[in-house]
Structure 1
């Protein structure tokens, strides 16, 4: 984990001053089905009005598990998640781009600075061929 340099340290007010929208977090089904604790989470830019942007995991998810987001991730009210694990209450106030982990040997949360938050997959076709573009947009 890399810590920011002192001149990069934002104030707590800057870190939590983002407009708050939504009420749902996307949570690994391992938390629900296996009753495992949240050990890793990040906040991305919300994808819709009900989304807070928070994504929460146990740390035991495999690449295959994460690839099937529709089956293996569940939208849960953030308030309910904080009732289950009160240690999240202050952390979920942070802005998009924030990443936290709770190592197995620790009860406390640590800020992560070197994790790259995944971007949503967008299917876009780009062309500079005017004829091809015209053909693909004839039905519009």
Structure 2
């Protein structure tokens, strides 16, 4: 298998060659309720078998809005989103780590390279205290 060298960009085939799993994307509630267009999307590593990894936003989400993912990001079949906005059809073929945006004045989508995709946070309580560890185990 040929792997790209650091000097050469990936080919379109390499950028879309990941195994495709899942069928759901998480989409901003603003798109559904306020009928705003998708203007920013990225693909993260899927969190479960039904998840494609795609996260789609209008660009009007506040940090407070984004903190409450359970309420404000709605799982929707990717196929349905692409029917609503056919310009997404080609973009959603790309691999995890891909980010796209379209500004209101732009003709189409532009690839983004300087956005850091957020990673899910997992709270873990680590201890080296044997007694505290035993208490934690008893409590669970």
TM-score scaled to structure 1, two decimals?
0.91
Segments of structure 2 that go 5 or more residues without pairing to the other structure are 1-5
* Number of residue-to-residue matches in the alignment: 135
Partner of 1:29: 29
- Equivalent in the alignment of 2:74: 74
Q: What root-mean-square deviation, in Å, do the aligned CA atoms of Structure 1 and Structure 2 show? A: 1.4
Report the counterpart of residue 102 of structure 2 in structure 1: 102
Structure 1 CA distance for aligned equivalents of residues 70 and 54 of structure 2 = 16
In structure 2, distance between residues paired with 1:14 and 1:127: 43
Shift of 1:139: 5.5
Gaps of 5+ in 1: 1-5
1:123 CA drift (Å): 1.3
Deviates further, 127-136 or 63-72: 127-136
Alpha-carbon displacement from aligned partner over 1:43-71 (angstroms, at most 9, x marks no partner)? 00111110000000000000111111111
Q: How far 1:8 sits from its partner (Å)?
A: 4.7
Q: Which whole-Å CA distance do the structure 2 matches of 1:8 and 1:99 have between them? A: 19
Per the alignment, residue 119 of structure 2 pairs with 119
What is the distance in 1 between the residues matched to 2:15 and 2:133? 43
2: distance between equivalents of 1:32 and 1:120?
24
TM-score, length-scaled by structure 2: 0.91
Q: 2: distance between equivalents of 1:122 and 1:85?
A: 33
1:3 alignment partner in structure 2: none
In the alignment, the residues of structure 1 paired with residue 105 and residue 68 of structure 2 have an alpha-carbon distance, to the nearest angstrom, of 29
Q: Tell me the secondary structure at the aligned position of residue 7 of structure 1.
A: coil
CA distance in 2, matches of 1:24, 1:70: 15
SS of alignment partner, residue 7 of structure 2: helix
Give, in whole Å, the separation in 2 of the partners of 1:32 and 1:62.
Answer: 16
Q: Which has the higher contact order (CA 8 A, sep 6+)?
A: 1
Distance 1:84 1:107 in 2: 18
Runs of at least 4 residues off by over 3 Å: none
